[in-house]
């Protein structure tokens, strides 16, 4: 069992997700997936996702809230990176970052994305696709302030993914921001953004040893969800 408290012990889903460990772990030896709980889909994909995330937490999977975010650049070339899901609400799946980063620039020109979550040990994955919305200022500010002081300093340099000619430059920029945060601990970077994938489709995939994989897809129809099974 995981040492992380149960979701019911937190005031909201964001608080629970924020408490999940986000640290490197030794990769486990490859072995057949452990038995996943029986699939019993809920009325909405958010509810089903949180059930599966809870299963992953209780199975002791490292960083169970990690996901691959896929976007496209202005030329249509796909791009992807792994990040942490920050919240799951009725609106969708939330993640965050600096709007000057590659993903921020890509989402500004093409505000749509796919999130892929894979729990190898359980033989499960989830695919979320849809338009991406910018969250309100208070959500962006909360997300920024929930980061550690060092993480806030790094984020507020605004240099993510730029060429680093001299490692000393990085140290200097971060130290400058650390000093600034000491004098203004309530500072929130105006570039820090909380984005939400407002899913149009969400697919849940569960492996089967006989290759009869289970695929359950939700499709948004107005203000409700339609569910359907897919061929493996």
8 assigned ligand-binding residue: no
- Which three-class secondary structure state does DSSP give residue 186? coil
173 assigned ligand-binding residue: no
181 assigned ligand-binding residue: no
Contact 96, 107 (CB under 8 A): no
81 assigned ligand-binding residue: yes
103 assigned ligand-binding residue: yes
- Give the model's pLDDT for residue 209: 78
220 assigned ligand-binding residue: no
Contact 140, 105 (CB under 8 A): no
Domain ranges of the chain: 39-143+193-229
If we measure between CA atoms, which residue out of 2, 84, 7 comes closest to residue 47? 7
- Give the model's pLDDT for residue 188: 97
> What are the tens digits of pLDDT across the range 77-108?
999 999 999 999 999 999 999 999 999 999 99
Q: At what angle do helices 137-145 and 149-156 cross, to 10 degrees?
A: 120
101 assigned ligand-binding residue: no
Q: Work out the average pLDDT over 112-141.
A: 97
- On the 0-12 / 13-18 / 19+ scale of CB atoms within 10 A, 158 is middle
- For domain 39-143+193-229, give the CATH superfamily: Electron Transport, Fmn-binding Protein; Chain A (2.30.110.10)
């Amino acid at each position: 069992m995981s040492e992380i408290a149960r979701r019911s012990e937190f005031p909201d889903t964001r608080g629970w997700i924020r408490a999940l460990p986000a640290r490197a772990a030794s990769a486990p030896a490859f072995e057949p997936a452990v038995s996943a709980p029986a699939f019993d889909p809920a009325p909405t994909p958010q509810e089903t996702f949180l059930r599966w995330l809870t299963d992953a937490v209780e199975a002791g999977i490292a960083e169970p809230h990690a996901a691959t975010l896929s976007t496209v650049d202005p030329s249509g070339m796909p791009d992807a990176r792994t990040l942490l899901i920050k919240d799951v609400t009725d609106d969708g799946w939330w993640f965050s970052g600096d709007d000057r980063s590659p993903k921020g620039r890509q989402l500004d020109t093409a505000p749509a994305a796919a999130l892929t979550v894979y729990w190898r040990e359980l033989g499960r994955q989830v695919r979320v696709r849809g338009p991406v919305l910018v969250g309100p200022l208070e959500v962006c500010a909360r997300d920024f302030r929930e980061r550690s002081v060092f993480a806030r300093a790094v984020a507020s340099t605004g240099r993510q993914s730029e060429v680093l000619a001299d490692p000393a430059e990085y140290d200097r920029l971060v130290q400058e921001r650390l000093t600034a945060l000491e004098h203004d601990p309530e500072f929130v970077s105006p570039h820090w953004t909380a984005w939400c994938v407002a899913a149009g489709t969400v697919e849940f995939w569960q492996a089967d040893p006989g290759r009869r994989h289970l695929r359950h897809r939700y499709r948004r129809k107005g203000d409700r969800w339609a569910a359907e099974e897919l061929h493996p």
